[in-house]
Amino acid sequence: MPPQRIYMDYHATTPVDPRVFAAMEPYFTEIYGNPASKNHLFGREARAAVETAREQVAQLIGARPKEIIFTSGATESNNLALKGAAGNIRGGASAQRNHLLTVASEHKAVLDPAGTLARDGIEVTLLGVGPDGRIDMAALKAALTERTFMVSVMQANNEIGVIQPVTEIGALCRSRGILFHSDGAQAVGKIAVDVNSMAIDLLSISGHKLYAPKGIGVLYVRTGLELQAQMDGGGHERGLRSGTLPTPLIVALGAACELCGAELEAESAALAVLRDQLLDGILAGLDGVTVNGSMDRRLAGNLNLCFDGVEAESLLQKVPHIALSTGSACTTADLQPSHVLKAIGLGHEQALSSVRFGLGRYTTAAEVAATVEGVVDAVKALREGSLLKGLGWKPDR
């Protein structure tokens, strides 16, 4: 009998929570009106459901419902935030403000739009991070200029799980009159997020990272902030995001946010225990294993490990029943070293020897134990069969 499948890739995507699915299911076949159809009951029912979900999302992040703009996911939200802010500034009285600051370890959904803006004439600065994956506040402050219109820093990294000092960044930006955008795809629903206390002006959310379906997300836009729309055709969502609203997906996202708000604290505590058991088990069975990024400021369900002398791709092939990752799910077709791991100072071989473990709502202690056993056995087998043994590698205990 083949070994039981184990899912350890919750950063790539999460399963839809059955309670979320139950909430959304009627909106496929029973309450199917277009929420933009205000002249009949079918449309008004759908519109009411959308507005309830808007309130649920807003409640989770401390926002007002009218500040919630529904999108297809965090990638679209990031594009709207960066390009929308840049377009509005370039077309207004503050056209001289043409400097965007972001971080070298950001997700490609921020780095790629920033690259597009750079080709369009916006000056872009990529701030480095330390070996722990965190930015240095003094370096951030020194990099700001009178022309900086936006700082974009993700709250929690999708590969190494490191949490940035978002509250301090927000306060600095607010004091300088600079917009602060944060990609919260990995943070919202996993750690406490409050857009007001953190002085966040724009926040991106992705539904499938917090147990809602793929294809739905949010851009939080602080009241009074103007963006240039990136999509025309109907003027939906305050004119910022045209297109018929996907009512079932929006209902699901609202339900998922409500569940996260109620269960976040207990879930995080439980995940931290399981994550530490995973780390302790691997370290007890293997030498030559190091943690990538800070352990003190890290998502409870994240672990990113470098296995000396082992190619990560080979390790994943040795444990096909365990869903692991060598980096972002958006770039796994690229066998180049992770830009995040390179940003924290890992060399080429170290980066290619690193594996991401993502634990989530349905991870069990039995799965953790099985993962420890499978990974330890696989690493030992790979090391035994490698040329490193002949070059002096000592077998693990």
Catalytic site residues?
330
- Spatial distance between the Cα atoms of 298 and 308, rounded to a whole number of angstroms: 22
**Angle at which helices 365-384 and 247-285 cross, to 10°:** 50
CB-based contact 61:282 (threshold 8 Å): no
CB-based contact 249:212 (threshold 8 Å): yes
**Counting Cβ atoms within 10 Å, is residue 266 exposed (0-12), middle (13-18) or buried (19+)?**
exposed
- Spatial distance between the Cα atoms of 327 and 340, rounded to a whole number of angstroms: 9
- Spatial distance between the Cα atoms of 156 and 304, rounded to a whole number of angstroms: 13
With b for 16 or more beta-carbon neighbours within 10 A and e for fewer, the 271-297 pattern comes to: beebbebbbebbeebbebbebbbbeee
- Spatial distance between the Cα atoms of 169 and 182, rounded to a whole number of angstroms: 10
> What single letter denotes the amino acid at residue 144?
L
- Spatial distance between the Cα atoms of 236 and 277, rounded to a whole number of angstroms: 47
> What single letter denotes the amino acid at residue 67?
E
Residue 170 token pair: 């927000």
Which position has the token pair 């401390």? 62
